[in-house]
A and B are shown apart, each in its own frame.
Chain A
């Protein structure tokens, strides 16, 4: 049970960590100061959530483990984030679309996590839901603004949604740890979120005058630690200090 819970928490937290890391790459390079601040702010929220989850996870395993051991000392095969969040910041349209496709899910997820039987997870969800509602509002607004903006921006957003759509379905798959925790009343059964998710996403995309991709070929693997080729570079960057100078205080 402890092991399943540990893996379950990592599955949630890794999404926040990896997306936060991606957003961190953008700092100072945004199209204007306001979006720069907003994306840094979202990154900060996501990494804050990650810390809460990892601090909790660290208490569930034998021996002395810290949030940093969990973040920096796992290899890419041990990361359980969905493929969507590790996708690169190809251009601002991809950044916004990736955020939107994740935020809609994340908000639904947080709402359900508030009903978990695990008090710590409920506390994290109660704090996180305020942040995630803000993220969802920001990314939905920008999807609409850019979709229904100029011809060029519509094209770019369509390109982004076409490119990222194949990573959406993975959000609703259950791992073994998920299933075990669902039966304990701790985990969110994400498979039940799917219909509402696609309905909400479609509604926003429609308002943004974008075409909903009819692609039914989806990619998966992230939750099982089988990632895209982007992941190794992301971790090499993120873990470089801890790998070069292990066991130190910073």
Chain B
């Protein structure tokens, strides 16, 4: 293909996106579009899978049967989201095994939030309420993103996420209406998860390298800072409803802007976690790598058995 031909294709492509048409797997797309989507969709899929670990940590210890069942269902949903997203990513011409390889080697990232430990039961509430809350703010716009398979996966993901978020808030509400010990547990969870949740919305606009391109392709509709403000504005009243305090002395309603002003995020901590040095980065990775390595004989056996069956079939036919 000549340079001119590529340029023409690119123009047609950009025009399609501008008209809000969906791009489908067999359509022509710029290599950079393909790569960016592989990066973002796989990062999203990996986050779902790694995200099973901090919550999975409390399945055996959930305080009631009802909560245990709900937590199991939630973690199962997350595994399902991982599946949709890996499938969506595979439509871009990369295999799931390659994607896993990228995760296990540390080449691919996952959401920094899952590198924080779940130390009490209240963390199950805080994760649902705050972490899923922040995720929804990030993800709802993706239901309209330009790449069809991703957009369709997100419609399903978002429905379940909102349910999880409500479930998390309900855990917090029950704790806050409970004994003083339970309320203290909820406050402590908010204290530990508040800032990491704000960090989930990504670095400030000035530091965000992918924002401009992502806005053009409708992978993003608002900037990180806009989304973060939206998250804070919607979450602070919920904390008030719970009767617990957001751990930010600079947090204040601003009549003029109609938004909450808030304190400085510890970006050193953010980058430390992103670079692999958060509280649980090593544990999360080794759990994944161990599961993969310990499961190798199982996957090999499944393949060997499928081949045997196939051979038997062929023999019977001939």
B300 touches A27 (CB 8 A): no
Residues in B with CB closer than 8 Å to A24 are: 59-60, 68, 72
Residues in A with CB closer than 8 Å to B287 are: 28-29
CB proximity to B under 8 Å, residues A8-30 = 21, 24-25, 27-30
Q: How far is the CA of A31 from the CA of B49 in the complex (A)?
A: 13
Q: A30-B291, A31-B291, A237-B60 are in contact. Are A150 and B72 (CB under 8 A)?
A: no
Q: Does B174 contact A (CB under 8 A)?
A: yes
How near does chain A come to B47, taking the closest CB pair, in angstroms?
Answer: 13
Residues in A with CB closer than 8 Å to B308 are: 148
Please tell me which stretch of A35-43, A187-195, A217-225 contacts chain B, meaning at least 4 of its Cβ atoms lie within 8 angstroms of it: A35-43
Q: Does A183 contact B (CB under 8 A)?
A: no
Q: Nearest chain-A residue to B121 (Cβ)? A: A241
Residues in B with CB closer than 8 Å to A92 are: 294-295, 297-298
Q: Nearest chain-A residue to B307 (Cβ)? A: A149
B67 touches A144 (CB 8 A): no
A145 touches B305 (CB 8 A): yes
Please tell me which stretch of B154-162, B175-183, B217-225, B262-270 contacts chain A, meaning at least 4 of its Cβ atoms lie within 8 angstroms of it: B175-183
Q: How far is the CA of A33 from the CA of B83 in the complex (A)?
A: 7
B61 touches A245 (CB 8 A): no
How near does chain B come to A199, taking the closest CB pair, in angstroms?
Answer: 23
Q: A50-B65, A92-B294, A153-B298 are in contact. Are A44 and B76 (CB under 8 A)?
A: yes
A35 touches B65 (CB 8 A): no
Q: Nearest chain-B residue to A40 (Cβ)? A: B76
How near does chain B come to A128, taking the closest CB pair, in angstroms?
Answer: 14
Q: How far is the CA of A144 from the CA of B174 in the complex (A)?
A: 46
How near does chain A come to B176, taking the closest CB pair, in angstroms?
Answer: 11
Q: How far is the CA of A34 from the CA of B61 in the complex (A)?
A: 24
Q: How far is the CA of A250 from the CA of B58 in the complex (A)?
A: 14
A149 touches B300 (CB 8 A): yes
Residues in A with CB closer than 8 Å to B276 are: none
Residues in B with CB closer than 8 Å to A25 are: 59-60
Q: Does B93 contact A (CB under 8 A)?
A: no
How near does chain A come to B125, taking the closest CB pair, in angstroms?
Answer: 10
Q: How far is the CA of A48 from the CA of B73 in the complex (A)?
A: 11
Q: Nearest chain-A residue to B53 (Cβ)? A: A28
A48 touches B300 (CB 8 A): no
Residues in A with CB closer than 8 Å to B12 are: none
Q: Nearest chain-A residue to B45 (Cβ)? A: A33
Q: Does A133 contact B (CB under 8 A)?
A: no
Residues in A with CB closer than 8 Å to B59 are: 24-25, 27
A144 touches B305 (CB 8 A): yes
How near does chain B come to A113, taking the closest CB pair, in angstroms?
Answer: 21
How near does chain A come to B202, taking the closest CB pair, in angstroms?
Answer: 25
B56 touches A51 (CB 8 A): no
With beta carbons under 8 angstroms apart, the residue of A40, A68, A146, A149 that contacts B65 is A68
Residues in B with CB closer than 8 Å to A47 are: 65, 68-69, 72
Residues in B with CB closer than 8 Å to A48 are: 69
B72 touches A245 (CB 8 A): no
CB proximity to A under 8 Å, residues B24-66 = 49, 52-53, 56, 59-66
Q: Does A76 contact B (CB under 8 A)?
A: no
B295 touches A44 (CB 8 A): no
How near does chain B come to A98, taking the closest CB pair, in angstroms?
Answer: 15
B79 touches A40 (CB 8 A): yes
CB proximity to A under 8 Å, residues B266-318 = 287, 290-292, 294-302, 304-305, 308
Q: How far is the CA of A160 from the CA of B67 in the complex (A)?
A: 32
Q: Does B82 contact A (CB under 8 A)?
A: yes
With beta carbons under 8 angstroms apart, the residue of B69, B76, B121, B299 that contacts A250 is B121
How near does chain B come to A95, taking the closest CB pair, in angstroms?
Answer: 10
Residues in A with CB closer than 8 Å to B301 are: 145-146, 149-150, 152-153
Residues in B with CB closer than 8 Å to A35 are: 298
Q: Does A54 contact B (CB under 8 A)?
A: yes
A245 touches B297 (CB 8 A): no
Q: A47-B65, A51-B69, A238-B61 are in contact. Are A149 and B305 (CB under 8 A)?
A: yes
B52 touches A27 (CB 8 A): yes
A37 touches B80 (CB 8 A): yes
Q: Does A57 contact B (CB under 8 A)?
A: no
Q: Does A228 contact B (CB under 8 A)?
A: no
Q: Does B75 contact A (CB under 8 A)?
A: yes
Q: Which of B62, B72, B296 has the most chain A CB within a 10 Å cutoff?
A: B72
Q: How far is the CA of A37 from the CA of B62 in the complex (A)?
A: 19
Q: Can you add 17 more A-B contacts, CB < 8 Å, to A54-B65, A153-B304?
A: A25-B60, A27-B52, A28-B75, A31-B296, A40-B79, A44-B76, A145-B305, A146-B301, A149-B305, A150-B301, A152-B297, A152-B301, A153-B300, A153-B301, A240-B61, A241-B62, A250-B66
List of 3 A-B pairs having minimum Cβ-Cβ separation, nearest first: A31-B295, A149-B301, A153-B301
On A, residues with C-beta under 8 Å from B are 21, 24-25, 27-37, 40-41, 43-44, 47-48, 50-51, 54, 67-68, 71-72, 91-92, 144-146, 148-150, 152-153, 156, 237-238, 240-242, 245, 248-250
11 sampled A-B residue pairs with Cβ under 8 A: A24-B72, A28-B49, A28-B287, A29-B291, A40-B76, A145-B302, A149-B302, A152-B297, A153-B297, A156-B297, A245-B181
